Amino acid sequence: MKKLPVSVCIVSGAEAHRIRQALESVSARASEIIVVLNEEVADGTDRIAEEFGAKVFREPWRGFIGQKNSVSEKATQPWLFNLDADEVVPPELWFQIAQALENPSATHTAYQFPRCTFYFGRWIRHGDWYPDRVLRIWRRNKAVWAGVDPHACLKVDGTIGNLQSDLLHYSFESISRHLLKTDSYSEEFVRHYPSTEKSPGFFKMVIRPFWRFFRAYCLRLGFLDGWPGYYIAWLSAFSTLTRYAKVREAHILRHANPKTASVAKLLN
């Protein structure tokens, strides 16, 4: 197959157990693959990436936004495609990408498409997880990663086009891994929560979590995904409650007297 003028950009940790399928899905169509690894990774992820001709760099962790901008700066092709190690680009999506990039009348600066997640043996096609449109392809030097870690977002200088085929997402290999990620994201949320804002009250602690469940399970038809849809909706509510509970905990510690704060930190 003809290679496209695309640099696939991957930020990776220790992903030797699953990065191969991501690389296999792009190696035949992308002209360049760049992988930026956390400098402490030692599980062989680098060797797998090099098997597919990837340019591999090791760098200290600087947050999702910093790492994504770093890998983007190393790209040499006219178009960049950000991909995670747990994602796969199917042939149908590559076909649409080729049509968009090779169209002489194309005027868009970037493209987005839906992402479909595989969870507990089935593809999740409802609730908060689908269509989950992600903005991943853009012209070089026409976009930059911004936002608040760990939720990086692409700021594009130009118009955005829509593709219809799904990017495939093989995340959350188990409930335990899912809960660990939920916990780490809540810690990042607390770190970036405005210190000048008052402690979360009734709305954020009670109403917002309930709304997240109702929206995902009822309004967005999460019930059509069976028990995984039910669990996902409840976990969405739980993660919302956990984030604000941790903010409230931090607020209490900031305003406690030194002796009480020290005891609370020891208990944690």
Shared domain for 193 and 161, answered yes or no, is no
Give the domain-ending residue among 141, 169, 197.
Answer: 169
Give the domain-ending residue among 169, 186, 202.
Answer: 169
Shared domain for 227 and 142, answered yes or no, is no
Dihedral sign for Cα 50, 46, 92, 155, please: negative
Query: pLDDT per position in the chain (268 positions), as tens?
Result: 789 999 999 999 999 999 999 999 999 999 999 999 998 999 999 999 999 999 999 999 998 999 999 999 999 999 999 999 999 999 999 999 999 998 877 789 999 999 999 998 999 999 999 999 999 999 999 999 999 877 899 999 999 999 999 999 998 878 888 898 888 888 888 887 887 788 899 999 999 999 999 999 999 999 999 999 999 999 999 999 999 999 999 888 877 755 554 544 544 4
For residue 252, the model assigns a pLDDT of 87
The total domain count for the chain is 2
DSSP H/E element including 197 = none
Give the pairing of strands 134-139 and 110-113: antiparallel
CA atoms within 13 A on the CB side of 141: 3
How far does the chain reach from its first CA to its final CA, in angstroms? Answer: 56
Shared domain for 205 and 165, answered yes or no, is no
60: amino acid identity, one letter: P
For residue 259, the model assigns a pLDDT of 55
Q: Which pTM was predicted?
A: 0.87
Shared domain for 199 and 228, answered yes or no, is yes
Torsion over CA of 126, 131, 134 and 135, rounded to 10 degrees? Answer: -160
For residue 194, the model assigns a pLDDT of 80
CA 110 to mean position of chain CA atoms: 18
For residue 196, the model assigns a pLDDT of 75
For residue 211, the model assigns a pLDDT of 97
Shared domain for 22 and 88, answered yes or no, is yes
* CA 206 vs CA 193, 201, 213, 233, 244: distances in Å: 18, 8, 11, 15, 10
As given in the structure block, the two tokens for residue 189 are 């949320």
Shared domain for 188 and 163, answered yes or no, is no
166 neighbors 159 (Cβ within 8 angstroms):
no
Shared domain for 63 and 85, answered yes or no, is yes
Three-point CA angle 250, 65, 209, nearest 5°: 45
Residue found under tokens 């409802």: 126
For residue 257, the model assigns a pLDDT of 57
- Which residues is 81 bridged to in the sheet? 8, 137
Shared domain for 116 and 24, answered yes or no, is yes
Helix (H, G, I), strand (E, B) or coil at 172: coil
Give the domain-ending residue among 146, 169, 192.
Answer: 169
**Phi and psi at residue 89, in whole multiples of 5°?**
-100, 110
For residue 191, the model assigns a pLDDT of 83
Shared domain for 165 and 180, answered yes or no, is no
For residue range 112-131, what is the model confidence (pLDDT) as tens digits?
A: 999 999 998 999 999 999 99
Question: How does DSSP classify residue 24?
Answer: H
Shared domain for 162 and 182, answered yes or no, is no
Shared domain for 185 and 110, answered yes or no, is no
CATH number of the domain enclosing 10: 3.90.550.10
For residue 262, the model assigns a pLDDT of 53
For residue range 22-49, what is the model confidence (pLDDT) as tens digits?
A: 999 999 999 999 999 998 999 999 999 9
> What's the domain range around 232?
175-267
Angle between helices 226-255 and 258-267 (to 10 degrees): 150
